[in-house]
Amino acid sequence: MRKNSKQREEIRRVLASTKTHPTADWVYDNVKQSFPNISLATVYRNLSLLVEEGQALKLTSVSGPDRFDATIDVHYHIACEKCGNIFDVNLPVIVGLEEQLETLTGFKVKSHTVNFLGTCTKCRNE
């Protein structure tokens, strides 16, 4: 049976407070403000729990640590090669893709992600 904890609540809050798709380490640093003794392992443990429960997404990039996202409704991402930041993309979600793929392949398709790579507006002007 799942039990609540102050720490998990705060991790959830910190993650939900940003759109920067932070790493576990970033969450750790921020949760420290209210829980100075929290352990990084606790942050990893709870981020995994949140992902497991469908309350957060784990993103994965070509290099660097995993990132987490409290926005769980389907949306796409673009990563900036230069600054490494990941941004949400406002494109409408492509519909019918998954069904098309199921018909085509016989797979059971659960989800899909679309990831763009490029240079963000800020980095272009530097």
* List of residues contacting DNA (CB under 7 A): 1-8, 23-25, 35, 37-42, 44-46, 48-49, 63-66
8 binds, among DNA, a copy of itself, none (CB under 5 to 8 A by kind): DNA
Closer CB to a copy of itself, 3 or 108, in the complex: 108
Nearest to 43 by CA among 28, 64, 23: 28
Site membership for a copy of itself, residue 110 (CB under 8 A):
yes
Task: Tell me the per-residue interface mask from 86 to 105 with a copy of itself, x by CB under 8 A, - otherwise.
Answer: -x-xxx--x--xx-xxx-xx
Q: How far is CA 6 from the centre of its chain?
A: 22
- 75 vs 95: CA distance, rounded Å: 12
Nearest to 57 by CA among 79, 81, 38, 73: 73
